[in-house]
Structure 1
Amino acid sequence: MTNQQDNQSSGYITLLTLVAALGGMLFGWDTAVISGTVSSLDAFFIAPLGLAEYEANSLLGTLVSSALIGCVIGGAIAGVLSQKYGRKKMLIVSAALFFISALGSAIPEMGFYAIGSSEANQALPQFIFYRILGGVGVGMASMLSPLYIAEIAPAKIRGRLVSFNQMAIVTGIIVVYFVNYLIALQGGESWIQTLGWRYMFASEMLPAALFFFLLFTVPESPRWHAINGHDKEARNTLAKLHGPKEAELEFSEIKESLSHHTSGKLFSFGLMVLVVGILLSMFQQLIGINAVLYYAPEIFKNMGSGTNAAMLQTIIVGAFNVIFTLVAIFTVDKFGRKPLMIIGALGMCVAMTALGFSFYTESMGISVLIAMLAYVAFFSLSWGPVCWVLLSEIFPNKIRSLAMSVAVAAQWITNYLVSWSFPLMNNNTYLTEQFNHGFAYWIYGGMSLLAALFVWKFVPETKGKSLEEMEKLWDNDTSSENVVAKKSLA
């Protein structure tokens, strides 16, 4: 391939990656938009019910976390559906779900009560339904966007391109924080509680519509075409992506990988590959990142910050998330996946241990902020983007969509459990008396150490390997002991 052809192909692949990564941005947007609306939803939907304190708090928790139910469902079904109908078509479905959820969450009474009427606050079940629907879109996009990018990307820059998806997620989170803030400035507290929160949810309609229409301009994954016997379409797409010469070589590798005598069922390459994928997903959550991001303002309040200072510090945390995700994008194909994952996990272990001791010894100074920022920095250059890179790479072609779907569903379930358990540990009277809010961070530090050991022992290095080369690690003809040995040496 000439330099001119190479540049044209790289530019085309980058454009396709940016379109697919919009799914990641909507993932971040949808999961974070709720942060600016919690008090308004409480006032609009729950306060009028006159419930006792426990029942009211429980209902508010259900309302806020309802999207996670949809995330588990979306992650679980995306594999089967994308294997049957294609990656592109299911990404289009996820974009439609984002749009419908944004519109329905903004005006949940639509079709049941007059919009904006005094009865609108009775549309709580409809609101929860639309949030679950949006969660299904999030769950599907969280699996399909990195999967699609990995299946179109050349091996030498695949890590960087898949990392764009994580960059899009954290960008979506930061953008929606500012969108919520700008909307909140348009009126007082009463306006926000009646109308402002609606605009916050409706803000997602624009990027969702953009994602929906742009997806019609991208090709279907060539590997999906090959898996389904569409050889001509697979060759044509590969030629557009990599040029005619490289396309034939890659097509031959793909067809060879599909000729293996495996059924394409979930366990046709053995149990180990699935276990590794699930544990990668679970450790990404067990190290505590979403407890830190979801509860950052409360953490800073525990160290004595006022509300405004806590919000400012939370924005600083978000900025570190973006900056160090950029570091990962430019290093993942240079240093490899395993070194970044191990260094990141060990760094998070030290940061979480230090944060726990800062709370335990009541050293509520700058050390807490430094520990938090160090933790987020290590996560953002490792387990944030690189975990998604590995999940999109390690599964063989025939089972990639199914296996990745199981791993992503496990990730969302673990996300829910960690988010649910953090306040139980952080606000427990006994644990607070004994450890002064430090206990949960020591748990996350211990999980980070286990995550480093897990990657070192069981996760293969995938830097520079084609997706078809990766498949040989999990060949059923090889014994489990040899597979583990191979991986340990990788």
Structure 2
Amino acid sequence: MEKSLKKHYKKPKVWFSAFNAALGSLLFSYNIGVFTSCQPCVSAALNWGNDKDTYIPIMSALLPLGAMFGALFSGYMAKFIGRRQNLIIADLIIIIASIASIIPYTLSFGIGRFLSGFSIGNFSMLCPLYINEISPIEITGRIGSMVMLFGCLGTLFAFSFALILPTSDYNNDPLNNIWIAMFLFQGLVALIQLILFLTIFKHETAPWLANKGYKDQAQRSLKFLYYEEYAKQVFERIDNSSKINDSEINLENNYDFTYKEIFTCAKGTTKAMRVGVLISVIQQFAGINAIMMYATTIFNEFGSGVFMARVFTTVTGIVKLLAVFGLLPLIDSVGRRTVLVFGCIAMGICLGAMGFFSMYKVYFVIPFLAIEMYLAFFVVSIGPICWVYSGEILPSRGMSICTGINWFSAFIVVLFFPFVVKVIGLSYTFWIFTAFNLGGALYFKFDMIETKGLAKKDIRELFASRR
């Protein structure tokens, strides 16, 4: 069946549909990075003065806090109103958020940050799901990589725009107001995605429609992406609950945990939820969002100066982008568990070295290289594998809970990172992250089940039989 369907999809429409959905991934990463490089500019514009050391971590943490609620909302609503409608809602919210963020009041800026977070929580759940459900089997992997690619582009855009911001005299330099355009950019991208959804990509994904019993609409959705003869064959596979994208359409309903089963650790849920929750927590306590949201501050601490700190921060975006092309194939060729174990060990070594460099005042190039190596290992290991693996072992409710926990963990890390640095210093803070990475490597080695080469049905049956 797979061979008979090969190259009988409408290639431009399939790729353009995925491109449009992947804009959500761009917004996801852009929002994480946009406040990093323009913190002093926003602080001056909103007159935070001596209170900036309090406001900056709070405003940074509002993003993952909103994302936690957004992920939980999308996990619940995606089943009832579909993937496309949820993405449209996320676009509308982020447009409102971008406007709220530029109103010159601290309260409105905070509301904008929280609403932006709510939207990217939706995007983090729904963009991969939407792209997976519209992708023909033979190009699922290539199209799926657009999520990570656009995510890296979002980070790069956010950091690159900041290079033209002033490095001093923020209250008087007219270039300081460029931060306003940086926050409006996210609204522009969301508006483009919204217009495309309303004018061109008008169909919900066929698997969701078929699962809800909307068979005529499911066929119209498939005819938009496939030539008519083959659209019928794909619909028959969906309608008969046979395999599509290495999963079964009705498997989600048969396997899905109830919230009561999850919270009471009912038989069949324990192993999958334990691994899903811990991989989500370890991903955040590995230190990634502390580094990404305070990258400019960290580089500045190592004596690079404000402008060079922004340059180095921009280079981190380039490194992440290059790592996607050069290292992601390892996930399928080597296996999830092996990559995770070695990735966490490598990240732990890099952060341990950062702690050493900070304590003994080793400045500039060497710490910069250590952070770039850390980011490269993150992008190839726990960064994408957290989402790939969780999607393989968990149904939608479990995935929603784990995504919410992931964002709550990010909220804790981002909020308390600067305060912990003040109390115990940058060196010991890096060593705490080192401990989480090395501890994570041990956990993955002994409790994680390798899923390489297994169909989703086999994976879920395997986890259901374990405690």
TM range (shorter): 0.7 to 0.9
Listed as ranges, the matches of 1:392-431 within 5 Å are 392-396=391-395, 400=396, 402-428=397-423, 431=424
Question: Identity of counterpart residues, as a percentage?
Answer: 25
Indicate whether 1:458 and 2:454 are aligned.
no
Q: TM-score, normalised by structure 1?
A: 0.80
Instruction: Return 278-287 or 347-356, whichever deviates more.
Output: 347-356
**Residues 334-413 of structure 1: pairs in structure 2 closer than 5 A:** 334-364=333-363, 366-396=365-395, 400=396, 402-413=397-408
- Preserved contact between residue 162 and residue 388 of structure 1 (Cα < 8 Å): no
SS of match in other structure, 1:9: coil
Count, aligned residues: 448
1:7 is matched with: 7
- How many Å apart are 1:455 and its aligned residue? 2.7
Report the Cα distance in structure 2 between the residues aligned to 1:61 and 1:25, rounded to whole angstroms. 23
Q: In the alignment, what sits opposite 1:322?
A: 321
Deviation at 1:127, TM superposition (A): 2.9
Q: Distance in 2 between matches of 1:334 and 1:26?
A: 30
Cα contact 1:75–1:139 (8 A) shared by 2: yes
**Which residue in the other structure is 2:161 paired with?**
179
Over 3 Å counting, the alpha-carbon distance change for 1:243 and 1:394 in structure 2 is farther
Q: Does the CA-based 8 Å contact 2:287-2:433 persist in structure 1? A: yes
Contact 2:38–2:165, Cα closer than 8 Å, also in 1 = no
Aligned AA for 2:7? N
Residues 224 and 452 from structure 1, CA distance in 2 versus in 1: closer, same or farther, beyond 3 angstroms? Answer: farther
Measured in 1, the distance between the counterparts of 2:363 and 2:161 equals 31
Q: Distance in 2 between matches of 1:290 and 1:60?
A: 14
Q: For each residue in 1:31-59, what CA deviation from the matched residue of structure 2 results, as whole angstroms up to 9, or x when unmatched?
A: 32223442233223234xxx8x4x55424
Correspondences of 1:75-474 after superposition (within 5 Å): 75-106=71-102, 108=103, 121=104, 123-153=105-135, 158=140, 160-182=142-164, 190=172, 192=174, 195-216=177-198, 217=201, 219-231=203-215, 233-234=217-218, 240=225, 244-245=232-233, 248-249=236-237, 251-253=240-242, 254=248, 257=251, 260=254, 265=259, 267=261, 269-364=268-363, 366-396=365-395, 400=396, 402-428=397-423, 431-432=424-425, 437-474=426-463
1:328-377 C-alpha deviation (Å, 9 max, x unpaired): 44443333333332222121122122222233344436432222121111
Q: What one-letter code is carried by the residue in structure 2 that aligns with 1:215?
A: F
**8 A contact 2:41–2:170 mirrored in 1:** no
Structure 2 CA distance for aligned equivalents of residues 455 and 152 of structure 1: 32
Q: Which residue of 2 aligns with 1:24?
A: 25
Partner residue in 1 for 2:265 = none
Deviation, 1:27, is 1.0
Supply the distance in 2 between the matched residues of 1:472 and 1:13 (Cα, whole angstroms): 32
**Could you report, residue by residue, the CA deviation over 1:85-124 in whole angstroms, capped at 9, with x for unpaired residues?**
1111101111111112112323x3xxxxxxxxxxxx4x43
Q: Distance in 2 between matches of 1:348 and 1:339?
A: 14
Displacement after TM superposition at 1:326 (Å): 2.2
Contact 1:159 1:333 in 2 (8 A): no
| Preserved CA contact (<8 Å) 2:60 2:414 | no
Per-residue deviation, 1:315: 1.9
Question: Contact 1:74–1:138 (CA<8 Å) still a contact in 2?
Answer: yes
Per-residue CA deviation, residues 395-437 of structure 1 (Å, 9 max, x unaligned), is 23xxx1x222211111111112112232233232xx34xxxx3
- Provide TM-score, normalisation by structure 2: 0.84
CA distance in 1, matches of 2:134, 2:24: 16
C-alpha contact (below 8 Å) 1:183/1:200 kept by paired residues: no
Extract unaligned runs of 5+ from structure 2: 243-247, 263-267
Q: What whole-Å deviation, never above 9, does each CA across 1:270-321 have from its counterpart, x for those lacking one?
A: 2332222221211111111111222222322333222222222222222111
2:70 maps to 1:74: yes
Of the structure 1 ranges 189-198 and 408-417, higher mean CA displacement relative to structure 2 is found in 189-198
Q: Kindly provide the amino acid, as one letter, of the partner of residue 369 in structure 1.
A: F
Report the CA distance between 1:182 and its aligned residue. 4.6
Judge which range, 275-284 or 240-249, deviates more: 240-249
Q: Does structure 1 conserve the Cα–Cα contact (< 8 Å) formed by 2:60 and 2:415?
A: no
Deviation at 1:9, TM superposition (A): 3.2
